[in-house]
Chains A and B, each alone.
Chain A
Amino acid sequence: MSLSGAEAIVKTLERLGVRVVFGIPGGSILPLYDALYSSDIRHILGRHEQQVAHMADGYARASGKPGVCLATSGPGATNLVTGLATAYMDSSPVVAITGQVARPLIGKDAFQEADIVGIVTPITKHAIQVLSAREVPRAIITAFTIATTRRPGPVLVDVPVDVQREVLSEAYEGLATDTIDVKGYNPMPPKPSYDSIKKAARVLEAAERPVILAGGGVVWSGASRELLDLAELLGAPVATTLMGKGAIPEDHPLALGMIGMHGKAHANYAVAECDVLLAVGVRFSDRTTGRVESFAEQAFKIHVDIDASEINKNVKVDLPIVGDAKEVLRLLVSELVRGLKGGSNEAWHRRIRELKETYVESSSEEPHCKLKPSRVVRMLNEVFAPGSLVVTTGVGQNQMWAAQHYIAHSPRTFITSGGLGTMGFGLPAAIGAKIACPNKTVVDIDGDGSFLMTVQSLATSVTENVPVIALVLNNNALGMVRQWQYIMYGGRFIASDLKGVPDLVALTRSFGVEGVRVETYEELRRALREATTSEVTTVIDVPIPQDEKVFPMVLPGRALREVLLHDPTRGR
Chain B
Amino acid sequence: MTLREVGEVEPVVIIAIVEDRPGVLYKVSSIIRRAGVNIDAITVARTVEDGVSRMTFLINTTRGKAEYLARQIEKVPTVIAVGWHLLKDVHSLEVMLARISLGDDRHDRRELALLAKTLSLKILEETANNMVVAAVGSPEEVERVIELLMSKFKILDLARSGPTALTEVGRAWPESF
Contact = CB atoms under 8 A, between A and B. Distances in A.
27 contacts: A118-B23, A121-B30, A122-B30, A127-B23, A128-B23, A129-B22, A182-B78, A183-B19, A183-B51, A183-B52, A184-B18, A184-B19, A307-B75, A309-B72, A309-B74, A312-B3, A312-B67, A313-B2, A313-B3, A313-B4, A313-B68, A313-B71, A315-B2, A316-B1, A316-B2, A320-B177, A322-B177
Given A183-B51, A184-B76, A184-B77, 5 more contacts: A118-B26, A121-B27, A183-B78, A311-B177, A316-B1
Contacts of A309: 68, 71-72, 74-75
Q: Identify the 5 closest CB pairs spanning chains A and B, nearest first.
A: A309-B71, A184-B80, A185-B77, A320-B177, A182-B77
Judged by DSSP, the binding face of B is mixed
B17 to A, nearest CB: 8
B112 interface: no
B23 A125 contact: no
A126 interface: yes
Nearest to B31: A122
A426 B78 CA distance: 33
Contacts of A151: 75
Nearest to B70: A309
B34 interface: yes
Contacts, number: 63
B79 interface: yes
Contacts of B74: 308-309
Interface string A117-136: 11001100111110000000
Nearest to B64: A312
Contacts of A126: 77-78
Contacts of A322: 177
A146 B76 CA distance: 10
B75 A182 contact: no
Interface in B76-95: 76-81
Interface of A: 117-118, 121-122, 125-129, 146, 151, 182-185, 292, 307-309, 311-316, 320, 322
Contacts of A127: 23
Contacts of A312: 2-3, 67, 177
B26 A121 contact: yes
Interface residues of B, number: 27
A198 to B, nearest CB: 15
Interface centre among A118, A185, A312, A315 (most CB of B within 10 A): A312
Contacts of A314: 2
A2 B141 CA distance: 62
A183 B2 contact: no
A161 B54 CA distance: 33
B77 to A, nearest CB: 4
B108 to A, nearest CB: 47
Contacts of B80: 183-184
B130 to A, nearest CB: 38
B117 to A, nearest CB: 46
Contacts of B26: 118, 121
A184 B21 CA distance: 12
B21 to A, nearest CB: 9
Nearest to B73: A309
A121 B67 CA distance: 22
A316 B1 CA distance: 6
A199 to B, nearest CB: 12
Contacts of A320: 177
A182 B67 CA distance: 24
Nearest to A146: B77
A227 to B, nearest CB: 23
B55 to A, nearest CB: 12
A184 B3 CA distance: 24
Nearest to B16: A184
Contacts of B34: 122
B18 A308 contact: no
B75 A308 contact: yes
Contacts of A121: 23, 26-27, 30
Contacts of B4: 313
A292 B3 CA distance: 13
B19 A182 contact: yes
Contacts of B19: 182-184
A122 B74 CA distance: 14
Nearest to B77: A185
A288 to B, nearest CB: 14
Nearest to A321: B177
A284 to B, nearest CB: 9
Contacts of B3: 312-313
Nearest to A310: B71
Contacts of A146: 77
B74 to A, nearest CB: 7
A176 to B, nearest CB: 22
A103 to B, nearest CB: 13
Contacts of A292: 2
Contacts of B67: 312
A92 to B, nearest CB: 17
